[in-house]
Amino acid sequence: MNLELYIARRLIGGRQDKSSISAPIIKIAIAAIALGILMMLTALATGVGLKYKIREKVAAFNGHIQIFNYDNNVSRVSVLPVSLDQEFYPDFQLTDGVAHIQAVATKAGIIRTEDTFEGIIAKGVGPDYNWSAFEEFLVSGSLPDYSGDLGIQVLVSRLMANRLGLEVGGRFNSFFLKEEDPSKVPNRRVFEVSGIYDSGFEEFDGTYIFTDIRHIQRMNGWEADQIGNFEIFLDDFDAIQEKTGEIYDQTLSELDTQNIENRYYQIFEWIGLFDFNIALIIGIMILVGGINMITALLVLILERTPMIGILKALGSPNWSIRKIFLYNAAYLIGIGLLWGNALALLLIFLQDKYKLFKFPNPEEYYIEYIPVYMDVPTLLSLNIGVLLLCLLMLLLPSYIITRISPVRAMQFE
């Protein structure tokens, strides 16, 4: 039988005297642990959720990795085509961890209405395009279907629709310069708004419309098997740099690869700061909780000084007595973690389901509401880490037990 654990359980079960000097101190310590884990989990859930949501939006417009002709690497529009006849398309086998590959092309143009005009980039997509992200962004109408005959349906952003006075079902004129000779009469296309999306990313919403890739091919004088570039989606975003290198090594020498972390490095440097902020909050909360537990432990030792004297007189070693109080402290930390986790998970669930809290300036964060994300491994790791770090912080103050004299302890009142 574990004697120290047995005594600690008796002390925990016998703490019924509300007039005890340790009672309010212990309640404060438990509340501090609960509040600390609540702050840590909410900071982690919102920080990680916002980071994931922003990078998902960037990937929705660009994929995770792009494969294109070397001469296109400084242009946002497709200049020189890439052949569809590649060993990695449509089934990508060059490396593992690739979820999807799609062929796209982009072309700069102008939308002209009776009252105004707007510069755009028309992104041509085909039947292989992954619309899953835009199903969430769609605010009215429907997503276009490019699997049949060449049509005139396009997807535009709400920002652009408001600027140009467009609505679902409405038609508009668009003009695109001829790449071979910009001085010639531009290509004119009449498009019809199939749906309106709103990603919250003004940089993209104010630029991109989505159309059938065959329009881009015809205006550029390309063949049916020529496209602007390939977009690749990965199973694991954290492997993006490794997979970019692997894909680059496996593709033809005239093809280049680029990932969104490098292309939009300013955005990803900014969201990378979230990790530092999260770590800072977690560190401060652990420090605050640990200090409160140290106070509670010292009060418990003071209150149980006669018991410590008796145990020493009976021959108990110092480490054995210290373990009794550490077990006691672990129980109190566990109670605080239990309450803190319950409140935090309830708050995260309500925010995820009902979007209770919104950003006062959504244009700065590219999203209206505060997104949250939490997985079980992260939850368990944080709780175990807090428990262990708090107990480590208690090892030093528990050393005071070794300084207590048995004779004086039994006379202590």
pLDDT per residue rounded down to tens, the chain (413 residues): 578 888 888 877 665 555 566 678 888 888 999 999 999 999 999 999 999 999 999 999 999 999 998 876 556 788 889 999 999 998 998 899 999 999 999 999 999 998 899 999 999 999 999 999 899 999 999 999 999 999 999 999 999 999 999 999 999 999 998 866 666 788 999 999 999 999 989 989 999 999 999 999 999 999 999 999 999 999 999 999 999 999 999 998 889 999 999 999 999 999 988 889 999 999 999 998 889 898 888 888 888 888 888 888 888 888 888 898 899 899 999 999 999 999 999 999 999 999 899 988 887 888 889 999 999 999 999 999 999 999 999 998 888 877 777 766 565 55
pLDDT at 302: 81
Q: Tell me: the pLDDT tens digits for 339-348?
A: 999 999 999 9
Indicate whether 277 and 399 sit together in one domain.
yes
Count up the domains in the chain and report the number: 2
Indicate whether 283 and 353 sit together in one domain.
yes
Indicate whether 280 and 180 sit together in one domain.
no
62 falls within a domain = no
Is the distance from CB of 146 to CB of 104 less than 8 angstroms? no
Indicate whether 334 and 222 sit together in one domain.
no
Q: Which of 227, 251, 284 is the last residue of a domain?
A: 227
Indicate whether 94 and 45 sit together in one domain.
no
pLDDT at 75: 65
Indicate whether 322 and 401 sit together in one domain.
yes
Is the four-CA dihedral 211, 214, 218, 223 of positive or negative sign?
positive
CA distance 114 to 184: 23
Indicate whether 112 and 198 sit together in one domain.
yes
Q: Quick one: which of 52, 51, 62, 56 has its CA closest to 257?
A: 62
Indicate whether 51 and 86 sit together in one domain.
no
Indicate whether 295 and 350 sit together in one domain.
yes
Instruction: Return the SS3 of 191.
Output: strand
pLDDT at 52: 93
38 falls within a domain = yes
Rg (CA), the chain: 31
Indicate whether 38 and 86 sit together in one domain.
no
Q: Is the peptide bond before 127 cis (omega within 30 degrees of 0)?
A: no
75 falls within a domain = no
Indicate whether 178 and 273 sit together in one domain.
no
**Burial state string for 297-313 with b = 16 or more CB within 10 A and e = fewer than 16:** bbbbbebbbebbbebbe
Partners of 121 in the β-ladder: 108, 208
pLDDT at 410: 60
Region of residue 355 (left: phi > 0; alpha: psi -120 to 50; beta: else): left
Domain containing 136 equals 82-227
256 falls within a domain = no
35 falls within a domain = yes
349 falls within a domain = yes
Q: Token pair of 110, please?
A: 């102008």
128 falls within a domain = yes
pLDDT at 380: 96
pLDDT at 21: 64
Q: Which of 227, 257, 286 is the last residue of a domain?
A: 227
263 falls within a domain = no
Q: Which of 169, 200, 227 is the last residue of a domain?
A: 227
Indicate whether 279 and 399 sit together in one domain.
yes
